[in-house]
């Protein structure tokens, strides 16, 4: 009899242990499911977008092909080399477009100087979801510099009569002087003309090219350029057309205030000032994040077209 009791007790103990293990397994599985659901809830879904990435020895670019528009503060760029890792908030770059969202058809640029041949990985990261929206891994190629080149990061948007004033720098990398003989300007805004008017509404300089910075500092003296540059204004011929069909502006004419020619010597950096971008109704155009398409003609070489994006903030 005692043997049956002992066996019964033994079976009861085994069953109890099995039940405890079963309860523990169920509780563990439940906690695991809740943990997974919690972790998944921490990250937002990745936005559905198509973005291209490119990099050179002086610049990183992203192009938004299609998909959702993403607020700038949700994006950051990560640049990795064999020795460094840099995180750049999207707001520190230059974005085309009317607002602070990266949308279809828009471009983003950032001046990232890298030595040619350096292995670089560039990623565009959506921070809320931790998703990589674009990535490029390559050995940096040296940009071919044979003439007048735009200086990345030099574009600025000045305050004048409205916000329609754009400035930017270019450097002559050629072994001989470069003379600019003509210029065409377009923008992705609703500006149709370039007409410089001062605060009193009097004709002023439309295009000013500072070809002789003093101690590296540029000056703006449109009423008396002297040897510092060449200025073009409209008193005798009306505003310059800048879109949708841009006007070729002949820089070899003798417009008002023009006392020199637009020549950049080897290694010299010059500054362009364009003022003021206006609508057909003479209203100043807000040029924040505007993209300029600039075509320059030269005396002894083929013309070139440049794309220059103005910053959100004023320079």
Is the previous residue joined to 245 through a cis bond, with omega within 30 degrees of 0? Answer: no
The percent of residues in the chain predicted with pLDDT above 90, rounded, is 13
pLDDT tens column, 52-86: 988 777 778 889 999 999 998 999 999 888 888 88
* 10 in a structural domain: yes
Same domain for 10 and 97, yes or no, is: no
Same domain for 257 and 222, yes or no, is: yes
Q: Which of 119, 139, 159 is the last residue of a domain?
A: 139
- Top pLDDT among 255 and 313 is at 313
What lies within 8 Å, CB to CB, of 215 at 6+ separation is none
Tokens of 141: 């190629």
Q: Which of 139, 158, 175 is the last residue of a domain?
A: 139
Same domain for 36 and 58, yes or no, is: no
Strands 277-278 and 193-194: antiparallel
Do residues 141 and 114 lie in contact, with contact meaning Cβ atoms separated by under 8 Å?
no
Q: Phi then psi for 308, rounded to 5 degrees? A: -130, 125
Same domain for 91 and 111, yes or no, is: yes
Do residues 38 and 123 lie in contact, with contact meaning Cβ atoms separated by under 8 Å?
no
Same domain for 159 and 305, yes or no, is: yes
Number of domains in the chain: 3
Question: Lowest mean pLDDT: which of 16-20, 58-62, 85-89?
Answer: 16-20
Q: What range defines the domain where residue 224 resides? A: 148-309
CA distance 19 to 122: 54
Same domain for 176 and 250, yes or no, is: yes
Q: What is the pLDDT of residue 66?
A: 92
Q: What is the CATH number of the domain that holds 243?
A: 2.60.40
* 160 in a structural domain: yes
- Top pLDDT among 97 and 81 is at 81
Same domain for 245 and 300, yes or no, is: yes
pLDDT tens column, 128-153: 999 999 988 877 766 667 789 888 77
pLDDT tens column, 261-275: 788 889 888 888 888
Same domain for 262 and 123, yes or no, is: no
* 315 in a structural domain: no
* 254 in a structural domain: yes
In this predicted structure, the answer to whether residue 296 has a pLDDT above a threshold of 90 is yes
pLDDT tens column, 26-53: 565 555 555 544 444 456 788 888 999 8
- Top pLDDT among 190 and 18 is at 190
Three-class SS string for the chain? CHHHHHHHHHHHHHHHHHHHHHHHHHHHHHHHHHHHHHHHHHCCCCCCEEEEEEECCCCEEEEEEEECCEEHHHEEEEEECCCCEEEEEHHHCEECCCCCEECCCCEEEECCCCCCCCEEEEEEEECCCCEEEEEEEEECCCCCCCCEEECCCCCEEEEECEEEEEEEEEEECCCCCEEEEEEEEEECCCCCEECCECCCCCECEEEEEECCCECCECCCCCCCCCCCEEEEECCCCCCEECCCCCCCEECCCCCCCCCCCCEECCCCEEEEEEECEECCCCCECCCCCCEEEEEEEECCCCCEEEEEECCCCCC
In this predicted structure, the answer to whether residue 215 has a pLDDT above a threshold of 70 is no
Same domain for 224 and 156, yes or no, is: yes
Do residues 257 and 251 lie in contact, with contact meaning Cβ atoms separated by under 8 Å?
no
Averaged confidence pLDDT in the chain: 76
Grade residue 106 by pLDDT with cuts at 50, 70 and 90. confident
Same domain for 14 and 111, yes or no, is: no
Closest CA to 310 of 283, 292, 285: 292
pTM exceeds 0.85, yes or no: no
Tokens of 313: 């903030």
Same domain for 205 and 299, yes or no, is: yes
In this predicted structure, the answer to whether residue 10 has a pLDDT above a threshold of 50 is yes
Do residues 220 and 208 lie in contact, with contact meaning Cβ atoms separated by under 8 Å?
yes
What lies within 8 Å, CB to CB, of 266 at 6+ separation is 172, 174, 175, 176, 177
Same domain for 304 and 226, yes or no, is: yes
Tokens of 25: 């397994």
Q: What is the pLDDT of residue 36?
A: 47
Highest mean pLDDT among 6-20, 155-169, 170-184, 203-217: 170-184
In this predicted structure, the answer to whether residue 164 has a pLDDT above a threshold of 70 is yes
Q: What would the mean pLDDT of 188-206 be, rounded to a whole number?
A: 72
Highest mean pLDDT among 23-27, 91-95, 142-146: 91-95
Do residues 97 and 122 lie in contact, with contact meaning Cβ atoms separated by under 8 Å?
no
* 203 in a structural domain: yes
Three-class SS string for 277-298? EECCCCCECCCCCCEEEEEEEE
- Top pLDDT among 75 and 219 is at 75
* 202 in a structural domain: yes
Q: What is the pLDDT of residue 40?
A: 46
């Amino acid at each position: 009899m005692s043997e049956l009791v002992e066996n019964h007790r033994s079976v009861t103990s085994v069953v109890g242990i099995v039940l405890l293990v079963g309860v523990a397994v169920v509780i563990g599985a439940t906690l695991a499911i809740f943990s997974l659901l919690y972790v998944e809830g921490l990250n937002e879904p990745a936005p559905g977008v198509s973005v291209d990435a490119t990099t050179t020895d002086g610049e990183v670019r992203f192009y938004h092909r299609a998909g959702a528009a993403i607020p700038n503060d949700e994006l950051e760029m990560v640049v990795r080399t064999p020795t460094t890792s840099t995180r750049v908030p999207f707001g520190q770059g230059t974005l085309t477009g009317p607002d602070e969202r990266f949308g279809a058809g828009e471009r983003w640029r950032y001046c990232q100087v890298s030595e040619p041949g350096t292995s670089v990985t560039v990623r565009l990261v959506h921070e809320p979801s931790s998703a990589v929206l674009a990535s490029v891994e390559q050995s940096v190629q040296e940009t071919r510099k044979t003439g007048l080149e735009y200086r990345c990061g030099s574009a600025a948007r000045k305050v004048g009569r409205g916000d329609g004033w754009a400035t930017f720098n270019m450097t002559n990398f050629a072994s001989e002087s470069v003379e600019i003989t003509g210029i065409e300007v377009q923008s992705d805004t609703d500006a149709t003309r370039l007409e410089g008017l001062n605060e009193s509404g009097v004709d002023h300089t439309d295009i000013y090219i500072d070809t002789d910075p003093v101690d590296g500092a540029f000056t703006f003296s449109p009423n008396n350029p002297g040897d510092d540059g060449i200025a073009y204004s409209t008193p005798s011929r009306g505003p310059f057309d800048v879109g949708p069909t841009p006007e070729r502006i002949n820089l070899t004419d003798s417009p008002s205030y023009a006392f020199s020619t637009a020549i950049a010597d080897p290694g010299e950096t010059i500054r362009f000032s364009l003022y003021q971008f206006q609508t057909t109704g003479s209203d100043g155009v807000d040029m924040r994040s505007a993209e300029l398409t600039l075509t320059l003609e030269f005396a002894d070489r083929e013309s070139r077209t440049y794309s220059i994006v103005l910053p959100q903030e004023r320079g």
